[in-house]
């Protein structure tokens, strides 16, 4: 039984096959007093039937329909899917009618596949290729366009771009994730199941993806992303290739300052990780191992760097090392100071007050916990702000009765 949008009992009976033959023949000849939308639905259904006399009559009546009425039906979202499918592929349909069915959201995707396979009009194929949402929903349309010899260069370009962006990349990520899961690396598999796999320079290569996978150790079940409210996602903006390259050089330089000459493999890992897009770097910051964390904590994007501090595998020793770094953002240092466990470490809070990158309000709040001797040294430390030196001097004098 054909599903109908019509509430007319006559139409429903004809489509269900329960109407007597004389009524079906009369309908096929256009002799029944039906609204145009109902008439078209009945004619299309009957011309596909097995009763030859009725089918021939329906085809003849369809051929007699005014183009204006057919175009109106092609444009209306209330038109039955069966009619839209017919109008999309009927040999007698004009280009205008076909284009209207392509633009109609109610046109079945299968009809667009048929049209993309059979049309010899390149402009129709270009219009089909413009609807990326439909291509993603029904990838058979992409293949139909690519197999049609009438396709234009523009139609081919558009469908290939959609295929690459939404299917080849997705398939590659899924293959990596499946292999990682088979090897027991669930954390890395979860990462690549949702990774965007893009970089400032284009797509992340599979080779780079495999290398990065070896530096993922935290499963989704161990993550708490409540620290990242939706409004902060605006900070995950797209970066240019030049901006990314500048950040990479800054990270490499900062590591060289702190650790000396870097081995080539370390430089290579830094480049691989830092060329990833911002969202993937943020996820890697929360899920990555110590080596990945040590790179991403220096990221110029504060959201990415903050993600490292929210990684559940960060150790006290790492927090101690980071608190002394002068190449991390003030947000990272603020978050370390807010962590109750880390704030109990005198070494960490001492590092924070001496770090010129630490936010002044954070330092002022910590100073009362600093030992008097260290306060005296801090009051003479020209690397910290004047406000911090003055407060350190004031506290040390108060304690010594000055």
DSSP run (H or E) holding 301: none
Q: How far apart are CA 135 and CA 113, in angstroms?
A: 10
What pLDDT is recorded for position 167?
67
Q: How far apart are CA 171 and CA 193, in angstroms?
A: 10
What pLDDT is recorded for position 12?
86
**pLDDT tens track, the chain, 402 positions:** 456 677 788 888 888 888 898 988 998 899 989 889 989 999 998 998 888 999 999 899 999 999 999 999 999 999 999 999 999 999 989 999 999 999 999 999 999 999 999 999 999 999 999 998 899 889 899 999 999 999 999 999 999 888 877 666 556 667 778 888 888 899 999 998 888 777 766 677 777 888 899 999 999 999 888 887 766 666 677 777 788 788 888 888 888 887 788 888 899 999 889 888 888 999 999 999 999 999 999 998 899 999 999 999 999 999 999 999 998 999 999 999 999 999 999 999 999 999 999 999 999 999 999 999 999 999 999 999 999 999 999 999 998 876
What pLDDT is recorded for position 49?
85
Backbone angles phi, psi at 303, to 5 degrees: -65, -45
What pLDDT is recorded for position 201?
64
Q: What is the dihedral of CA 20, 23, 26, 27, to 10 degrees?
A: -110
Answer yes or no: pTM beyond 0.95.
no
What pLDDT is recorded for position 373?
94
**Residues in contact with 264: Cβ distance below 8 Å, sequence separation at least 6, in sequence order:** none
Q: Is 306 exposed, middle or buried (0-12, 13-18, 19+ CB in 10 A)?
A: buried
- DSSP conformational letter for 327: S
What pLDDT is recorded for position 293?
96
Q: How far apart are CA 396 and CA 371, in angstroms?
A: 9
Beta strands in 168-322, from DSSP E residues, in sequence order: 198-199, 202-203
Q: How far apart are CA 195 and CA 261, in angstroms?
A: 32
The CA-based diameter of the chain, rounded to the nearest angstrom, is 114
Q: What is the dihedral of CA 81, 86, 88, 92, to 10 degrees?
A: -160
């Amino acid at each position: 039984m054909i599903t109908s949008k019509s509430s007319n009992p006559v139409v429903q009976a004809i489509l269900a096959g329960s109407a007597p033959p004389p009524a079906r023949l009369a309908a096929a000849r256009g002799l029944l007093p039906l609204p145009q939308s109902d008439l078209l639905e009945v004619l299309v259904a009957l011309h596909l039937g097995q009763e030859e006399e009725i089918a021939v009559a329906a085809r003849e009546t369809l051929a007699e329909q005014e183009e204006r009425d057919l175009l109106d039906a092609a444009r209306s979202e209330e038109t039955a899917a069966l009619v839209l499918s017919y109008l999309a592929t009927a040999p007698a349909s004009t280009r205008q009618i076909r284009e209207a069915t392509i633009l109609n959201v109610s046109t079945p995707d299968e009809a667009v596949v048929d049209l993309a396979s059979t049309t010899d009009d390149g402009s129709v194929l270009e219009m089909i290729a413009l609807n990326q949402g439909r291509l993603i929903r029904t990838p058979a349309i992409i293949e139909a366009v690519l197999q049609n010899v009438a396709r234009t260069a523009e139609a081919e370009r558009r469908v290939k771009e959609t295929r690459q962006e939404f299917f080849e990349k997705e398939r590659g990520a899924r293959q990596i994730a499946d292999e990682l899961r088979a090897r027991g690396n669930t954390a890395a598999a979860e990462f690549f199941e949702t990774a965007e796999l893009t970089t400032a320079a284009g797509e992340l290569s599979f080779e780079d993806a495999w290398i990065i996978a070896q530096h993922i150790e935290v499963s989704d079940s161990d993550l708490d992303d409540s620290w990242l409210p939706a409004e902060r996602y605006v900070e995950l903006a797209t970066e240019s290739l030049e901006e990314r390259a500048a950040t990479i050089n800054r990270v490499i330089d900062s590591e060289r300052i702190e650790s000396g000459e870097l081995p080539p493999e370390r430089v290579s890992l830094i480049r691989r990780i830092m060329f990833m897009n911002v969202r993937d770097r943020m996820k890697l910051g929360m899920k990555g191992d110590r080596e990945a964390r040590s790179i991403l904590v220096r990221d110029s994007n504060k959201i990415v760097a903050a993600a490292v501090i929210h990684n559940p595998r960060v150790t006290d020793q790492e927090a101690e090392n980071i608190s002394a770094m002068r190449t991390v953002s003030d947000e990272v240092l603020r978050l370390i100071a807010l962590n109750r466990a880390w704030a109990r470490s005198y070494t960490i809070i001492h590092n924070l007050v001496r770090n010129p990158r630490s936010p002044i309000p954070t330092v002022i709040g910590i100073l009362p916990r600093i030992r008097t001797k260290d306060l005296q040294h801090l009051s003479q430390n020209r690397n910290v702000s004047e406000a911090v030196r003055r407060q350190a001097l004031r506290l040390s004098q108060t304690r010594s009765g000055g």
